[in-house]
């Protein structure tokens, strides 16, 4: 095996494989993941104990300088405190030596990250929703996961086994040829390995540093606009005028009959009850496992279909234009929430974002308020209203009649030229700053056909639709965001 040398052109990439552990190895995997959870709970309790102690002392009027000092939550501090407590703490005595030290380090690192997120959110330095104090992880609900960063971590030469610290060689369900080829050629180095139990199986993910050569797309000069929907998953229109449709497989809808039958069977068994402390029966656990298998199969089918779609798009076109959809707001529609979640709009955009970089493909996101469906792809006139149930676009100005989604895809494809040259395309955008969350105060304005050059009002004033036409060049580039 050639020696690995860090050189320009290396990227960090993950390789995930399904495992087929035997009974002893599965018990060891669960023990390591349980150790990570126990270390996390210990760290949360150890740090928060000083918080509650200070609050109690403050209630008695103790001065600030006499209060119990704050306990640090940095990873080195947690490791030092845990190494001192594991020998005497009854929660770890007698069994902590059975697992790798990496299992406890995983829990401590997760606790340190949780406290950092809480502190940053409290100070307003973290974007997104407010993050609360870290809470203890339940034994029944916590996700089984453990990360290894040191020790023996390798892919065996046969391609059917991986070696992990304290676990030894574990058989994989699928060959590891893709990663093994890079490792043997000296073009990859394994940085860490994470084992996780999800969808009823054990998986191992190797974080690697791999040398990746840029693979050019098949049609670098062609831009494609992708309009996502429920009836048709994706309508793709490229700059050459070709329009293609990708049918929505509707994996969840196809499995609803089987899922309802499995759920009905679960409801007729004696399940767990937190209020009374009732334990689930064996028949409930079997029925629940059968229902979970249906959910897992649907998730696997959806993931496979989306990966095939995004890989094909990122390998063919030089520029991909998609919409910045408000998926969080869309799923609040109780009639369409299930279908929107089943389609996976957000996952399509996420996958296109990182797959396009591999092939030198440029990805452009249209502004959320760009009226792609209301704009005529022929003359650029924008309709004031276009209800969702109207599936055919009819232009009142030029008489163009086209399918609604195909018209939107053509408008999105035209945005690629605007992003590159700054020229105007059909559609009028309001690019002012949003004063309300999610831009709910923005409305699409109607753009009238532009008049001939030089046509002015008395006194040299421009007409309203002329002013809109003149500002379109300036606002178009601002309405686009490059990923």
Q: Which domain-ending residue is among 211, 234, 261? A: 211
**Distance (Å, whole) CA 195 – CA 173:** 14
Same domain for 181 and 45 = no
Nearest CA to 228 out of 216, 240, 213, 245 is that of 245
Q: Are residues 232 and 344 in the same domain?
A: yes
For residues 181 and 238, state if they share a domain: no
* pLDDT in the model for residue 442: 52
Residue 308 has a CB neighbour count (10 Å cut-off) of: 11
Phi first, then psi: give them for residue 357, nearest 5 degrees.
-65, -30
Extract the tokens encoding 446.
């109607």
* Residues 465, 470, 472, 475, CA torsion sign: negative
Q: Within this chain, do residues 179 and 253 fall inside the same structural domain, yes or no?
A: no
Question: Are 235 and 311 part of one and the same domain?
Answer: yes
pLDDT, residue 177, reads: 93
pLDDT at 421: 53
Domain presence at residue 293: yes
Q: Pick the last residue of a domain from 366, 381, 396.
A: 366
Is the separation of the CB atoms in 281 and 269 below 8 Å?
yes
Considering the domain boundaries, does residue 468 fall inside one?
no
pLDDT of residue 473: 41
Integer angstrom CA distances of residue 294 from 6, 166, 253, 260: 44, 34, 12, 10
Q: What angle do CA 458, 462, 466 make, to 5 degrees?
A: 140
Q: Classify residue 126 by its DSSP letter.
A: S
**Encoded tokens for 14:** 């993950």
Residues 288 and 355 in one domain: yes
Domain membership flag for residue 186: yes
Give me the number of domains the chain comprises. 3
Residues 18 and 162 in one domain: yes
Residues 149 and 93 grouped into a single domain:
no
**Residues 476, 422 contacting (CB under 8 angstroms):** yes
pLDDT value of residue 41: 96
Can you tell me the distance from the alpha carbon of 131 to that of 136, in angstroms, rounded to the nearest whole number? 15
pLDDT 10s per residue in the chain (483 long)?
Answer: 444 444 567 888 999 999 999 999 999 999 999 999 999 999 999 999 999 999 999 899 888 888 899 999 999 999 999 999 998 888 888 788 899 999 999 999 999 999 999 999 999 999 888 999 999 999 888 999 999 999 999 999 989 999 999 999 999 999 999 999 999 999 999 999 999 999 889 999 999 999 887 778 888 888 999 999 998 999 999 888 889 999 999 999 999 999 999 999 999 999 999 899 899 999 999 999 999 999 999 999 999 999 999 999 999 998 999 988 888 889 998 889 999 999 999 999 999 998 988 888 888 888 888 888 888 988 888 888 888 888 888 888 888 888 888 988 998 988 887 665 544 343 333 333 333 434 444 554 444 333 333 333 334 444 444 444 444 444 333 333 333
In a domain, 4, yes or no: no
Match 């895809």 to its residue by tokens. Answer: 409
Residue 8, pLDDT score:
61
Going from the C-alpha of 481 to that of each of 224, 321, 415, the distances in angstroms are 16, 10, 11
Segment holding 38, helix H or strand E: helix 23-59
Query: Which residues participate in catalysis according to the annotation?
Result: 227, 323, 405
Would you state the structure tokens that stand for residue 358, as one six-digit string? Answer: 């591999």
Residue ending a domain, among 168, 184, 211, is: 211
pLDDT of residue 300: 93
Give CA–CA dist 372/384, Å, rounded: 12
Residue 408 covered by a domain: no
Q: What percentage of the chain's residues is helix, strand, coil (to nearest 5)?
A: 40, 20, 40
- The residue with tokens 């296109």 is 352
The answer on 207 and 59 residing in a single domain is no
- Domain, as residue range, for 58: 31-122
Longest dimension (CA), the chain: 93
Rounded to whole angstroms, the Cα distance separating 360 from 353 reads: 11
Q: Give the C-alpha separation, 68 to 58, whole Å.
A: 10
Q: Is residue 448 part of a domain?
A: no
| Residue 132 forms part of a structural domain | no
pLDDT at residue 7 in the model: 57
Report the pLDDT value the prediction gives residue 2, as an integer from 0 to 100. 47
How many CB atoms sit inside 10 A of residue 423's CB? 13
Q: Same domain for 256 and 194?
A: no
Are 99 and 91 in contact by the 8 Å Cβ rule? The answer is: no
Q: What's the pTM?
A: 0.76
Query: Which value, to the nearest 10 degrees, does the dihedral of the CA atoms of residues 217, 223, 228, 234 take?
Result: -60
Identify whether 189 is part of a domain: yes
Same domain, 41 and 118: yes
Q: Say yes or no: 63 and 184 in one domain.
A: no
């Amino acid at each position: 095996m050639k020696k690995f040398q860090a050189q320009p052109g290396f990227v960090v990439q993950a390789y995930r494989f399904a495992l087929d552990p035997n009974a002893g190895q599965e018990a060891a995997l669960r023990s390591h993941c349980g150790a990570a959870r126990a270390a996390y709970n210990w760290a949360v309790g150890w740090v928060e104990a000083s918080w509650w102690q200070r609050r109690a002392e403050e209630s008695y009027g103790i001065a600030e300088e006499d209060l119990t000092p704050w306990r640090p939550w940095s990873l080195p501090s947690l490791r030092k405190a845990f190494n001192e407590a594991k020998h005497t703490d009854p929660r770890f005595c007698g069994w902590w030596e059975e697992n790798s030290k990496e299992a406890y380090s995983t829990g401590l690192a997760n606790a340190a990250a949780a406290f950092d997120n809480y502190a940053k959110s409290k100070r307003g330095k973290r974007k997104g929703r407010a993050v609360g104090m870290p809470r203890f992880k339940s034994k029944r609900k916590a996700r089984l996961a453990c990360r290894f960063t040191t020790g023996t971590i390798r892919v065996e030469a046969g391609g059917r086994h991986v070696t992990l610290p304290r676990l030894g060689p574990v058989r994989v369900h699928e060959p590891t040829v893709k990663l093994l080829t890079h490792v043997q050629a000296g073009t990859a180095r394994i940085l860490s390995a994470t084992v996780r139990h999800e969808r009823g199986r054990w998986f191992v993910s190797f974080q690697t540093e791999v040398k990746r050569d840029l693979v050019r797309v098949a049609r670098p000069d062609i831009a494609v606009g992708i309009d996502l929907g429920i009836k048709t998953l994706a309508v793709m229109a490229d700059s050459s005028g070709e329009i293609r449709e990708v049918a929505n497989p509707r994996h969840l809808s196809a499995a609803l009959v089987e899922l309802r039958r499995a759920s009905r069977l679960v409801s007729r068994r004696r399940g767990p009850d937190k209020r009374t402390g009732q334990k689930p029966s064996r028949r409930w656990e079997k029925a629940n496992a059968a229902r979970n298998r249906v959910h897992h199969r649907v998730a696997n089918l959806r993931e496979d279909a989306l990966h095939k779609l995004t890989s094909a798009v990122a390998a063919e076109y030089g520029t991909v234009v998609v919409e910045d959809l408000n998926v969080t707001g869309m799923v609040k529609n109780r009639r369409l929430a299930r279908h929107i979640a089943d389609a996976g709009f957000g996952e399509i955009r996420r996958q296109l974002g990182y797959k396009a970089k591999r092939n030198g493909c440029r990805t452009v996101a249209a502004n959320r308020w760009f009226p792609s469906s209301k704009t005529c792809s022929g003359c650029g006139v924008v309709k004031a209203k276009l209800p969702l149930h109207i599936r055919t676009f009819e232009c009142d100005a030029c008489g163009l009649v086209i399918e609604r989604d195909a018209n939107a895809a053509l408008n999105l494809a035209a945005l690629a030229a605007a992003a590159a040259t700054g020229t105007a395309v059909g559609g009028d955008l309001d690019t002012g700053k949003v004063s309300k969350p999610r831009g709910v105060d923005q409305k699409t304005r109607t753009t009238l056909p532009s008049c001939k050059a030089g046509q002015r009002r008395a006194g040299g004033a421009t007409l309203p639709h002329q002013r809109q036409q003149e500002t379109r060049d300036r606002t178009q580039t601002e309405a686009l965001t490059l990923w």
